[in-house]
Amino acid sequence: MSNIVILTGAGISAESGLETFRAETGLWAQHRVEDVATPEGFAQDPSLVVAFYNKRREQAAKAKPNAAHEALAHLEAAHTGTVLVVTQNVDDLHERAGSRNLIHMHGALNSALCAACDHRWDAPMVMAVGDACLSCGAPSARPDIVWFGEMPYQMDEIFEALGQADIFAAIGTSGNVYPAAGFVAEARRAGARTVEINLELSSVGSQFADALLGPATRTVPDWVAGILND
């Protein structure tokens, strides 16, 4: 019975047609992070920020889970130990593929958050600045996205799982954003076998014991088959 923790990033959804952040033509080449992914950017120009996430919500809704998302859902269903997927992605392709033990550490496009009382509800496809909170009524709705400078969600649960991990895999993430980029070090301290699954080695790639390089729709199903055959 082994405990498996899997961190995913934008690369796992790339073959579903969703843009990554740091590719040459990726989201951060098209938008300034400060403008659309910080509390200060939201305070300065909420319409721009809400429109940015409305567009991404629409794109995510049109996208379909790919073979990599499906392989991770199959792993969770078929593995005798625990499987936890911690995603930095705000799309819902993991849950649509069938993953259930899932943490959205950077929030979710399909969720709205009240900046006044922290209540959460299902976001409409098109949010507007000043939408009323469904609980307290304040005109304080915002996308339920963790912006730079904010604390990622469920960190205690994530570190507890990393502390008990036998296998840790990072899939399609560039290792540029902490705390997620530090998970490999934590998993190693716990004695986990570590593997990076990516098109190319990431900036923290040298910290992993193993690497599987190639497109996620090929490498992830192969990796899952290997674990289930072990």
CB of 46 to ligand OAD, least distance (A): 17
Residue 65 near residue 94 (C-beta atoms within 8 A): yes
The residues assigned a catalytic role are: 106
Distance of CA 106 to the CA centre of its chain: 6
Give, for 174, the enclosing helix (H) or strand (E): none
H or E element in which residue 26 lies: none
Could you give the CA distance from residue 84 to residue 101 in angstroms, rounded to a whole number?
5
**Distance between CA atoms of residues 33 and 31, nearest Å:** 6
Q: Shortest distance, CB of residue 137 to ligand OAD, whole angstroms?
A: 28
Shorter beta-carbon distance to ligand OAD: residue 12 or 165: 12
Q: Which residue is nearest to ligand OAD (CB)?
A: 11
**Preceding peptide of 39 cis, ω within 30°:** no
Q: How far is the CB of 132 from ligand OAD (least distance, A)?
A: 26
User: Which 8-state DSSP code applies to residue 159?
Assistant: H
Give the shortest CB-139-to-ligand OAD separation in angstroms.
24
Q: Is 69 exposed, middle or buried (0-12, 13-18, 19+ CB in 10 A)?
A: buried
Would you call the peptide bond into 179 cis, given omega within 30 degrees of 0 as the criterion?
Answer: yes
Binding site for ligand OAD (CB under 6 A): 9-11, 14-15, 20-22, 26, 37, 88, 106, 146, 148, 172-174, 176-177, 198-200, 202, 215-216
- Packing angle, helices 67-78 and 216-229, rounded to 10: 20
φ and ψ of 205, to 5 deg? -55, -35
- Choose between 82 and 220: whose C-beta lies nearer to ligand OAD: 220
CA-nearest of 198, 180, 163, 3 to 88 is 180
* Shortest Å distance, C-beta 45 to ligand OAD: 17
